[in-house]
Amino acid sequence: MTLALDPSDVGPTAPSPGLAPDSAAVAQEPEFWVPEAPDDEATTAAGPETGPGADDVPEDSSGAGAGAAADADPVVVRDARDFGVYARTGGWTFALKVARSVRPGGQPAEGTARAKVSAKAFAALAGCSPERVMRYYKAWDMAADDGLVPQFEVLVPGEDVELPDADVWLSYYTSRNSASSVRGQAISAAAEAEGIRPTKALEVAENPTALRAAILADPGTAEAARGALLDRVKEDPALQTELARAIATTGDLKKAVAHEAKAADRIAYVRQIAENGRVRTPAGQTVEAPAELRAEAERHLSLLDELDDSEEAGEWAGEAYEAVRGLVAKAVEEDPALRVQERRTRFYNSLQKATKVFEELTLDEVMEEDIYEEDMLQRLEALQEAIGSCISALRRATTASS
């Protein structure tokens, strides 16, 4: 019977009872503990069982288990009962073997002459790496601190103790060296916050190429990655800059962002009217929205909020915006005072823009360099005439109003 020590890598596998040190075989890969099952002769030579054996599993009270055992091959019976032990205890079965046999320096346990061995020596006997042994050692140590299992000092080589349930094992054990790094600890903490096993998140983090392949091939994975990036970008200025640069230098993305920004602005315009009852006129005034306008904005907003993530919001946003803007223009025209104020505001806006543009003309350059063209003078004269006409009109309006 060939066993794998790391259940998270190879799935549930029954432990081999009575493993004698000289019967350990070197695993095909250093990261797997694969001892050979001892034959009857080797078991006799090894002495008492050092792990859970056939006698540890109670027979079926109905007698069915005993009947099946009588008819089955003894090797099959042993495998089935070993599997039953492992199904209940999981990795704790192997952790116990490490915890009762390994001690730094190989000092004997207190009150006994039986010497423990170092993790390196134990790994050599088991045919696996010392790092793997120490991961089991550390898992037991953390569980002992929590009071789930006995401390190392009271464990004697070959002694069995009551073990926790298999489901608890993964809370203490990690099969990856990266979990001990600062990066690994951060990933593990994030995984626990999301309610998943840290080993799953660590495996993904160690295989970015596999993650990329999953994102490219699977829409669901791509959506999860998009959501994670959006959550991270809020607190990562460097990532914000990288994403902005990538968008700005990619034509299709740049157009898509501009399109979505326009739709978002239009939705915000409708939302402002529906939720706050305020409307911005074309000239830039902010006034109270009439009841009819607010009701129409609320109707369009409810339609927009009901859209699925997969539906295109741009067309709906455009329709809502145009409908609301039409009602705004209607409201302005139907209110004489508002109509006058709207036109006054529009005139002031145009006058301010014209003034700013004219002030930016650098007349000194005309005097210093030979840049003069005939149509420059013609345009300025036309502008002067238009300004004069405007001034005259305003004076006549002033006289009429007085």
SS3 115: strand
Look at residue 121 and tell me whether its pLDDT is greater than 70.
Answer: yes
Q: What is the DSSP string of 41-85?
A: HHHHHH-S-SS--GGGSPPPTTSHHHHHHHHS-HHHHHHHHHHHH
pLDDT above 90 for 176: no
Residues paired with residue 117 on neighbouring β-strands, in sequence order: 102
Please check the confidence at residue 39 and state whether its pLDDT lies above 50.
no
Cβ neighbors of 151 (< 8 A, separation 6 or more) are 144
Residue 159's H or E segment, with its range, is none
Question: Token pair of 9, please?
Answer: 């890598």
- Whether the per-residue pLDDT at 73 is higher than 50: the answer is yes
Residue 150, pLDDT score: 93
Assigned token pair, 295: 């009701």
Q: How many CB atoms lie within 10 A of CB 372?
A: 9
Higher pLDDT, 145 or 7: 145
Measured distance CA(192)–CA(227) in Å, rounded: 18
Give 289's DSSP letter.
P
- Distance of alpha carbon 402 from alpha carbon 393, whole angstroms: 14
Q: SS3 letters for 293-316?
A: HHHHHHHHHHHHHCCCCCCCHHHH
pLDDT at 35: 40
pLDDT of res. 149: 93
What pLDDT sits at residue 56?
Answer: 40
Predicted confidence band of residue 57 (pLDDT cuts 50, 70, 90) = very low
Q: Over pLDDT 90: what percentage of the chain?
A: 5
Give me the DSSP letters along 208-272.
HHHHHHHHHH-HHHHHHHHHHHHHHHTT-HHHHHHHHHHHHT-HHHHHHHHHHHHHHHHHHHHHH
Taking the C-alpha atoms of residue 270 and residue 276, their distance in angstroms, rounded to an integer, is: 10
Instruction: Measure the CA–CA gap between 142 and 262, rounded to whole angstroms.
Output: 55
Structure tokens at 250: 């990619």
Tokens of 386: 């238009």
The tens digit of pLDDT for each residue in 353-394 reads 888 888 777 666 666 666 677 788 888 889 889 889 988 988
Per-residue model confidence (pLDDT) at position 331 = 82
Could you tell me the pLDDT band of residue 96, with boundaries at 50, 70 and 90?
very high
Lowest model confidence (mean pLDDT) among 12-16, 150-154, 211-215: 12-16
Closest listed residue to residue 313, CA positions, set 294, 300, 299: 300
Q: What backbone torsions phi and psi does residue 2 show, to the nearest 5 degrees? A: -105, 130
From its phi and psi, is residue 116 left (phi > 0), alpha (psi between -120 and 50) or beta? beta
**If you average pLDDT over every residue of the chain, what do you get?**
74
